[in-house]
A and B are shown apart, each in its own frame.
Chain A
Amino acid sequence: MTKKKIGVYVCHCGGNISDYVDIEKVKEAVKDEANVYLLKNTLFACSDSSQKEMVADIQTNELDAIVVASCSPKLHVPTFRGVAQRAGMNPYNYVQVNIREQGSWAHSDNPKGATEKAILLVKAGIARAAESEALTSSKIPAANVVAVIGAGVGGMRSAIALADMGTEVYLIEKEKNVGGHVANFGSLFTTDKMGYELSANLLSEVKKRENIKLFTNAEIVEKKGSIGNFDIQVKVDNDVLPLHVGAFVVNTGFDSYQPQQGEYGFGEQTNVITLPEFKKLIDNSSERLIFNGKAIKKVAYIYCVGSRQNDEGDNKYCSRYCCTAAIHASVQVNKKFKDVTNLHFNRGIRTYGKQELLYEESSKNGDIYLQFSLDSIPEITQKGGKTFVKVKDILSAGKEVETEADLVVLVTGMVPRENSKLASQLKIPVGRDNFFNEIHMKLRPVETVIDGVLIAGTCQSPKNILETMNSSMAAAAKINSVLTKGEMTLDPTLAKINPSQCTWCGKCAEACPFDAIIQTEFDGRIVAKINEANCKGCGMCTPVCPTDAIDLAGFTNAQIEGMIDALAE
Chain B
Amino acid sequence: MASNGQPKILVFSTEKISDPALDLAGLLKKHYPFTIYTISVPCSSCIKPRWIMRAFDKGFSGVFIAADGTDCSYGESCGEKTSQVVTTTHQLMRDKGLKPSQLKMAAICSVCAEPVVKHLTGFMKELEKMQS
Q: Is A451 in the interface zone, CB < 8 Å from B?
A: yes
Q: Is B94 in the interface zone, CB < 8 Å from A?
A: no
Which residues of chain A have C-beta atoms less than 8 A from B25's C-beta?
A: 101, 106
Q: Is the CB of A429 within 8 A of B78?
A: no
Q: How far is the CB of A455 from chain B (nearest CB, A)?
A: 13
Q: Is A497 in the interface zone, CB < 8 Å from B?
A: no
Q: Is the CB of A449 within 8 A of B42?
A: no
Q: Is A506 in the interface zone, CB < 8 Å from B?
A: no
Q: Is the CB of B46 within 8 A of A108?
A: no
CB within 8 A of A540: which of B17, B74, B109? B74
Which residues of chain B have C-beta atoms less than 8 A from A561's C-beta?
A: 51, 54
In the complex, number of A-B residue pairs with CB atoms less than 8 Å apart: 162
Which residues of chain A have C-beta atoms less than 8 A from B2's C-beta?
A: 116
Q: Give A105 to B35 CA distance when docked, in angstroms.
A: 14
From A48-56, A117-125, A284-292, A364-372, give the one contacting chain B.
Answer: A117-125
Q: How far is the CB of B80 from chain A (nearest CB, A)?
A: 10
Q: Is A395 in the interface zone, CB < 8 Å from B?
A: no
Q: Is A100 in the interface zone, CB < 8 Å from B?
A: yes
Against A, the Cβ 8 Å flags (1 = close, 0 = not) of B46-71 are 11111100110011100000000001
Q: Which positions 289-348 of chain A face chain B at CB distance < 8 Å?
A: none
Which residues of chain B have C-beta atoms less than 8 A from A430's C-beta?
A: 111
CB within 8 A of A451: which of B16, B33, B35, B88? B16
Q: Give A345 to B20 CA distance when docked, in angstroms.
A: 42
Q: Is A531 in the interface zone, CB < 8 Å from B?
A: no
Q: Is B81 in the interface zone, CB < 8 Å from A?
A: yes
The answer to whether A555 and B46 touch (CB under 8 A), given A98-B23, A101-B23, is yes
Q: How far is the CB of B37 from chain A (nearest CB, A)?
A: 5
Which residues of chain A have C-beta atoms less than 8 A from B55's C-beta?
A: 564, 568
CB within 8 A of B31: which of A109, A124, A449? A109
Q: How far is the CB of B51 from chain A (nearest CB, A)?
A: 5
Which residues of chain B have C-beta atoms less than 8 A from A563's C-beta?
A: 39
Q: Give the residue among B34, B40, B73 with the most A Cβ atoms within 10 A.
A: B34
Which residues of chain A have C-beta atoms less than 8 A from B28's C-beta?
A: 431-432
Residue on A with the closest CB to B113? A429
Which residues of chain B have C-beta atoms less than 8 A from A540's C-beta?
A: 43, 45-46, 74-75, 77-78, 81
Q: Is B98 in the interface zone, CB < 8 Å from A?
A: no
Q: Is the CB of A543 within 8 A of B110?
A: no
The answer to whether A429 and B20 touch (CB under 8 A), given A120-B37, A226-B73, A538-B43, is yes
Q: Is A542 in the interface zone, CB < 8 Å from B?
A: yes
Q: Is the CB of A538 within 8 A of B42?
A: yes
Which residues of chain A have C-beta atoms less than 8 A from B85's C-beta?
A: 543
Which residues of chain A have C-beta atoms less than 8 A from B33's C-beta?
A: 113
Q: Is A350 in the interface zone, CB < 8 Å from B?
A: no
Q: Is the CB of A539 within 8 A of B37?
A: no
Q: Give A423 to B111 CA distance when docked, in angstroms.
A: 9
Q: How far is the CB of A509 from chain B (nearest CB, A)?
A: 14
Q: Is the CB of A543 within 8 A of B59?
A: no
Which residues of chain A have C-beta atoms less than 8 A from B40's C-beta?
A: 73
A–B pairs, 9, beta carbons within 8 Å: A72-B19, A101-B27, A105-B26, A226-B73, A513-B77, A538-B74, A538-B75, A560-B51, A568-B59
Which residues of B are at the interface with A, using a C-beta cutoff of 8 A?
Answer: 2-4, 8, 10, 15-17, 19-20, 22-35, 37-43, 45-51, 54-55, 58-60, 71, 73-75, 77-78, 81, 84-85, 88, 109-111
Beyond A427-B17, A568-B60, 18 additional contacts (C-beta under 8 Å) are A106-B30, A116-B2, A226-B73, A429-B24, A449-B23, A513-B75, A538-B42, A538-B78, A539-B42, A540-B43, A540-B75, A543-B45, A543-B84, A543-B85, A552-B41, A557-B51, A563-B39, A567-B60
Which residues of A are at the interface with B, using a C-beta cutoff of 8 A?
Answer: 72-74, 98, 100-103, 105-110, 113-114, 116-117, 120-121, 124, 225-226, 423, 427-432, 437, 449-451, 493, 511, 513, 536-540, 542-544, 548, 552, 555, 557, 560-561, 563-565, 567-568
